[in-house]
Structure 1
Amino acid sequence: MPRITDYELYEVPPRWLFLRVETSDGRVGWGEPVVEGRAHTVRGAVEELMETYLLGEDPHPVSDHWQAMYRGGFYRGGPVLMSAIAGIDQALWDLRGKAFDAPVYELLGGPVREKIRVYQWVGGDRPADVGDAAAEKVDQGFSALKMNATPEFRRVENPATVQNAVDRIREVRERVGPEVDIGVDFHGRVAKSMAKRLAEKLDPYDPMFVEEPVLPEHDEALTEIAAHTSTPIATGERMFSRWEFKRLFEQGVVDVIQPDLSHAGGITEVKKIADMAEAYDVALAPHCPLGPIALASCLQVDGVCQNALIQEQSLGIHYNEGSDVLDYLADPAVFEYEDGYVDLPDGAGLGVDIDESVVEARAGEVDWHNPVWRHDDGSVTEW
């Protein structure tokens, strides 16, 4: 019986944490356990789980390991612990797939699709030059884009600031036409007092969805916001378990959920969340502004979920300064985008071959933290 014999954590640019798990029969599994801006903190949680529970264990019973990591702690949940579990879960599925010489999606029942549509980010944190950027991405073959709706946004904004946000979306729509989808991310920057007004004003430009119109702690406001717009509502990147999503589904107003495979408990948990969503006629669009292991994990779940709509990916995103998704792959062609789609990986496990020499060469202490934004009066605002 194989055993987990060793592990290694690598902080790599731009802001990622990779986990390498090795077994006694020579297999290697990879995971991506990270909270953006809290890599050091998640590292400690991963080390604790590996040292106190997983080292010396049989890697194969992935579901049982998940339950032990989650239920074995009296205090559970939250971004740090669930992200640690997520990355370990990815690595265990990678090992299991390699043991059976099959992609993870084959072990989850087999694929329901051959490929999944992807979208490309435009415009940056403080959205600017969105029209040219959108046209460029469409020329590259993407049929779906996403952009931030606003920079800093006060609780009650003046009409000019609201109109500026509307004008940016209008510009993109006019540049790319009606056959391209545009996701609009409110990023939790807009208070409920303005979210309903802004969402309503965007309706004429037919967004694919409005994302995180309010922060998750204010999800009770989604019912009122939904009453002011016909645009689908998306949320979920800052939710970490099926029990959090349960309340969202029961509310009945969300159209697209966006759990993150590196935050919401990994492949094991997000597959369950996606199945719950299907029962409520809610689509799945996994959040993934992260690295190649996280993206490969997303594609395994997309492959087996009928309600998977579209996949976020971070190639060329504004966060990826200095390193990008393909840099860490021995075969970058696994994520080749064609006509706005990416094929499901057909390799064993997660289906990606990590270039360990690049990982080791670039590994070190990565000190990425999101900026702290302030209003003109000096008070902290949402980033």
Structure 2
Amino acid sequence: MKITEVKIIVCSPGRNFVTVKIFTDEGLTGVGDATLNGRELAVASYLQDHLAPLLIGRDPRRIEDIWQYFYKGAYWRRGPVTMAAIAGIDTALWDIKAKAANMPLYQLLGGASREKVLCYTHAQGRDIAEAVEAVGKRKEQGYKAIRVQVGIPGLPDVYGTGAKSVTNNALDDAVPHEETWSTSKYLRYVPELFKAVREAHGWDIELLHDTHHRLTPIEAARLGKDLEFARLFWLEDAVAAEHQEGFRLIRKHTTTPLAVGEVFNTIWDARLLMEEQLIDYIRMTTVHAGGVTALRRIMDFASVYNVRTACHGAMDMSPICLGANLHLDLWVPNFGIQEYSGYLPQILEVFPSAWSLSDGYLHPGEAVGHGVDIDERLAEKYPYQRAYLPVNRLEDGTLWHW
């Protein structure tokens, strides 16, 4: 079997997505997600101009060799653009391999370790009352785990709370939307949020919270300690991702479980965190970690240190990425939870998928391959639109972590 053609498809059915489609001389095709939110065309160019030409004539079954060729062979290793590009190719190759074997991807990985995949979704509000109500609606929909975010009094809408929280980026914005942040106001208010949620909804639901990398280690330690009464499933992205050593301080001061990893690109970004058991959940995802090949390796490494998996699953990764994640979720022994923020209807039309959601659980389905495809004709109706993620400033104007 030989690779005969590689297409790079960029479309925007409410969000921008970069898709790799690989064709073979035996008629099998595979697709992979290569989306890097806010920098999509950088990845598309990397693929089109540098990687795709090197795939023609190669055997698509030699997935490991191809992965190593693009990773080690580039000399300039790692980074979000490189790893998203490799991920798109790698996921498409695994799709082809599973189709050639006539089985769903999770069977090729070693078979299922569970019957279904627990997921968490998002609930938010501009104030505590609105957030508490949103949690109730999610419970009614069957979710067993919910990430809760709230607006902060005295601040305009912030990450995960306002009108932009559904998509996080506005396709009609010519420049990034700027948000305003106050750590002191946030630290005082968030414990009140979870007190209200527990009083309203009890203890039969798992609660999660995302600080979005905005705290220093000592601030994160204080928040974790202040939230211990709520028994969170986890506190996510407590400090900037570069601060691996900072988790040592956080770990000393709180028993609240910690999760991180959505902006990590390789195992090297998380090695210390896992080796020293400074986190409880690793949140890396297929498209940002270098594909199925790399993420499977990271998951195995995590299992050695009693760290569980929790793939990032926001809407800025296409249903292809979610499908690949779910096959890994179903297989991996040290599974924790899968994020699921949902998709706009037109996204699901462009990316027909075998995966399904029922009563708070996901399943990748039994279709051969990873079970997700792209409708190229429909994708053409949604051309790329320049878009940015927001940026964040403190009240005095200092640029801060978003």
The percent of aligned pairs where both chains have the same amino acid is: 32
> What letter is aligned with 1:264?
A
Distance 2:340 2:397 in 1: 34
1:15 Cα deviation after fit: 2.8
1:270 Cα deviation after fit: 0.5
C-alpha RMSD of the superposition: 2.1
Distance 1:239 1:75 in 2: 17
Distance 1:127 1:43 in 2: 41
Task: Give the structure-2-normalised TM-score.
Answer: 0.87
Give yes or no for contact 2:282–2:310 (8 Å, CA) kept in 1: yes
Aligned residues: 372
Change in Cα spacing, 1:109 to 1:336, as seen in structure 2 (3 Å) is: closer
- Which secondary structure does the structure 2 equivalent of 1:91 belong to? helix
Task: State which of 271, 275, 278 in structure 1 corresponds to 2:303.
Answer: 278
1:59 Cα deviation after fit: 1.2
- Which secondary structure does the structure 2 equivalent of 1:200 belong to? helix
Give yes or no for contact 1:3–1:59 (8 Å, CA) kept in 2: yes
Task: State which of 204, 209, 212 in structure 2 corresponds to 1:184.
Answer: 209
The corresponding residue for 1:98 is 99
- Which secondary structure does the structure 1 equivalent of 2:243 belong to? helix
Distance 1:327 1:52 in 2: 30
1:127 Cα deviation after fit: 8.6
- Which secondary structure does the structure 2 equivalent of 1:65 belong to? helix
- The answer on 1:335 being equivalent to 2:355 is yes
- The answer on 1:295 being equivalent to 2:338 is no
The corresponding residue for 2:171 is none
- Which secondary structure does the structure 2 equivalent of 1:226 belong to? helix
Task: After superposing the two structures, state which structure 1 stretch, 80-89 or 369-378, moved more.
Answer: 369-378
Give yes or no for contact 1:315–1:324 (8 Å, CA) kept in 2: no
- Which secondary structure does the structure 2 equivalent of 1:219 belong to? coil
- The answer on 1:30 being equivalent to 2:31 is yes
Task: State which of 208, 214, 218 in structure 1 corresponds to 2:243.
Answer: 218
1:368 Cα deviation after fit: 1.9
- Which secondary structure does the structure 2 equivalent of 1:56 belong to? coil
The corresponding residue for 2:165 is none
Listed one character per residue, the Cα deviations across residues 140-199 of structure 1 (whole Å, up to 9, x for unaligned) are 000111134774544xx44x5422122222222333321111111111012224211111
> What letter is aligned with 2:313?
C
Distance 2:74 2:326 in 1: 29
1:23 Cα deviation after fit: 1.7
> What letter is aligned with 1:204?
F
- Which secondary structure does the structure 1 equivalent of 2:288 belong to? coil
> Within 5 Å, which residues of 2 pair with 1:40-51?
40-51=41-52
- Which secondary structure does the structure 2 equivalent of 1:348 belong to? coil
- Gap runs ≥5 in structure 2: 153-157, 159-179
- The answer on 1:164 being equivalent to 2:165 is no
- The answer on 1:351 being equivalent to 2:352 is no
Give yes or no for contact 1:142–1:340 (8 Å, CA) kept in 2: yes
- The answer on 1:260 being equivalent to 2:282 is no
Distance 1:264 1:125 in 2: 33
Distance 2:391 2:199 in 1: 33
1:4 Cα deviation after fit: 3.1
- The answer on 1:195 being equivalent to 2:217 is no
Task: Give the structure-1-normalised TM-score.
Answer: 0.91
Distance 2:301 2:396 in 1: 44
- Gap runs ≥5 in structure 1: none
- The answer on 1:326 being equivalent to 2:370 is no
1:325 Cα deviation after fit: 4.6
- Which secondary structure does the structure 1 equivalent of 2:296 belong to? helix
Task: After superposing the two structures, state which structure 1 stretch, 164-173 or 123-132, moved more.
Answer: 123-132
The corresponding residue for 1:380 is 399
Give yes or no for contact 2:356–2:365 (8 Å, CA) kept in 1: no
Listed one character per residue, the Cα deviations across residues 321-366 of structure 1 (whole Å, up to 9, x for unaligned) are xx665232445xx33322211123211111124333322222x123
> What letter is aligned with 2:96?
L
Give yes or no for contact 1:285–1:312 (8 Å, CA) kept in 2: yes
1:125 Cα deviation after fit: 9.8
Distance 1:126 1:190 in 2: 21
Change in Cα spacing, 1:6 to 1:213, as seen in structure 2 (3 Å) is: closer
- The answer on 1:10 being equivalent to 2:7 is no
